[in-house]
Amino acid sequence: MARKTKRAPKILGPIIVMGIITLILMLLSFILSLVGFESEEAVINASNLEMSLITVNNIFSVEGIKYLLSSGVTNFRLIEPLALIIISLITTSIAERSGLIKHLVEPLKKLATPVIIFFTLVLCIIFTFFGDYSFVILLPLIGVVYKYLGRNPMLGIMTTFIGITCSYGTGIIYNYNTYLLGTVTELSATIEVDPTFSYDVLSCMYIMIVSTFVVAFLGTAIINKYLAPKFRRIQTEEDEIVISNKALWFTNLAILLILISIVIMILPGGILLDNSKTTYVAKLMSETSPFKDAFIIIMLASTMICSAIYGFVSGNIKHRLDYNIGLYKSFENCGYVFVLMFFASIMFGVLEWTNIGNVIAAILINAVSSLEFSGSLLIIVFFIFTILISILIPNTYTKWNMSAPLVVPLFMRANITPEFTQFIFSIADGIGKSISPFFIYFIIMLGFLQKYNDGDKKEITIFGTIKLILPTVLLLALVWLVLIVSWNIIGIPLGINTYATM
């Protein structure tokens, strides 16, 4: 009797899954609007706290159908990372083609994998200062770096994504999000409880410094144990790229001159600052700051100049045609990234227009605000609820605008400072994003994973990737929770003259 061949499991790719999720959201919008699914959202209006009713919008209404048919191209065009990823790929491409990346990572090839993971996490934590630019710059770059190190680029990309998201609320001292959320925190604290409260971006400096080392060391141990074994090491491919110390010397000189020029432009009063703001981080990274918009272009121009110097001096780039090819070489096998972004933009658009995420988030926020807990129990419940909300609404500022007017006064009445409340929110926000299919950089990560996927029994899927990184994320969430609760119980300062409790 012939043996039955075992059928391979049916695997749904990310595009099909996003299509299914979009259809589910559309059906939910019809059902939930029919049953009157709604909630109230706290809004600060002219120094007054008001409750505003939010409802689910039916996508099958006349307005919904019009939106669905007319917004596809618009939503895709408005995705901010679209242009940034293109610029980042150009930057990585020419740096790789010139041989500059290979030369810089060559001394690191003998390092053990845990050491490489540790340095990756530290780099991710530092780059969170630049907000979402950290994903744009590091996701393409780390993949190339791991390739030259003989490690699997997919491990590097996942480590980078986890490193940025799970430390997104921290940083070495502060980041732009600290300032941006702080403006909402200050308003929420002054309107309800303490009219004299003022938020300082350095208010959580001590816990940020400590958490940098805690997350880097424990994150390395967790990733090395649970994620790294899932990826086999690769053989470094031989190429004709020449390593030249002479070329690196000239390149370092160019980098020094570029850095001096940038520093001059961002010194107090510099032309790249928004000098109408009061704090330096706001001057540097506010929405109206020239530096924020210019940063990615400065990075591109600097890399093009340095790569040209290294490439022509070393002989890796022999003529202008070589240089032109180098500018787009990394785009090979990257088309999938943009395809995913297009279908993701449709899914995100439906979620946002129907208001499903906002209504569910408002319900959870109201549930937290009605709790009579205090101390560690309140912190744990808020931490978990914020993770759940972040899965549906990855946008940090939107969530805090919804949460802060109710949560900040609640925590203050429970004797927990607004600074510590914001810090807890920021950490939980990043953890929720890391496992959210509605987070654009999660989708972009899938595209880069596919770029390096060699097809050896690893299909890149949305839920398969979440399942793969989930143990790491949950353990890091536990590390964070223990750190936060311990800090609250021990009572040591968060920063200069700032404590967890009032």
Residue 40, classed as helix, strand or coil, is: strand
Q: Is 173 within a domain?
A: yes
Any domain includes 280: yes
Do 222 and 294 belong to one domain? no
Do residues 280 and 201 lie in contact, with contact meaning Cβ atoms separated by under 8 Å? no
- Final residue in a domain of this structure, among 315, 337, 357: 315
Distance CA 316, CA 310 (A): 8
From residue 413, how far is each of 76, 108, 324, 408, 435 by CA, in Å?
Answer: 43, 51, 61, 9, 32
Q: Which of 286, 315, 344 is the last residue of a domain?
A: 315
Domain match, 300 and 419 both: no
304 and 433 co-located in one domain:
no
From 440, 488, 422, 474, select the one nearest 78 (Cα to Cα).
440
Tell me which amino acid residue 386 is: T
Domain boundary among 259, 294, 315: 315
Domain for residue 56, yes or no? no
pLDDT at 458: 67
Question: Is 275 in the same domain as 230?
Answer: no
Give 170's strand partners.
Answer: none
Q: Report the sign of the C-alpha dihedral through residues 375, 380, 383, 386, in that order.
A: negative
Q: Tell me whether residue 495 is in a domain.
A: no
Give me the number of domains the chain comprises.
Answer: 2
User: Does residue 344 contact residue 72 with C-beta atoms inside 8 Å?
Assistant: no
Residues in the chain: 502
Asked whether residue 363 falls in the same domain as residue 294, the answer is no
pTM of the model: 0.91
- Its domain, for residue 325, covers 68-241+318-490
pLDDT of residue 456: 52
297 and 386 together in one domain: no
Q: Quick one: 260 and 133 in the same domain?
A: no
Domain assignment present for 458 = yes
Best CA proximity match to 169, nearest among 479, 424, 472: 424
Residues 372 and 277 both lie in one domain: no
Q: Are residues 348 and 467 in the same domain?
A: yes
DSSP string, 404-466: HHHHHHHHHHTTB-HHHHHHHHHHHHHHHHHT-TT-HHHHHHHHHHHHT---SS----HHHHH
What pLDDT score was predicted for residue 2?
46
39 domain residue, yes or no = no
**Is the domain of 347 the same as that of 226?**
yes
Same domain assignment for residues 180 and 263 = no
In a shared domain, residues 295 and 400: no
Q: Digits of tens for pLDDT over the chain (502 positions)?
A: 445 545 555 677 899 999 999 999 999 999 999 988 888 888 877 667 778 888 999 999 999 899 888 887 777 877 888 888 888 899 999 998 888 998 999 888 888 999 999 999 999 998 888 888 889 999 999 999 998 898 899 999 999 999 999 887 777 777 777 888 888 898 888 887 888 888 888 888 899 889 989 999 999 999 999 999 988 877 766 777 888 899 999 999 999 999 999 999 988 888 888 888 777 777 877 778 888 778 888 988 999 999 999 999 988 888 888 888 888 887 888 888 899 999 999 999 999 999 999 999 999 988 888 877 778 899 999 999 999 999 999 888 889 988 988 999 999 999 999 999 999 999 999 999 999 999 999 999 999 998 888 755 567 889 999 999 999 999 999 999 999 999 999 988 988 888 888 7
pLDDT confidence of residue 455: 56
- The answer to whether position 422 is within a domain reads yes
Tell me what pLDDT residue 1 has.
43
Distance (Å, rounded) from C-alpha 323 to C-alpha 329?
Answer: 10
* Residue at 435 is within a domain: yes
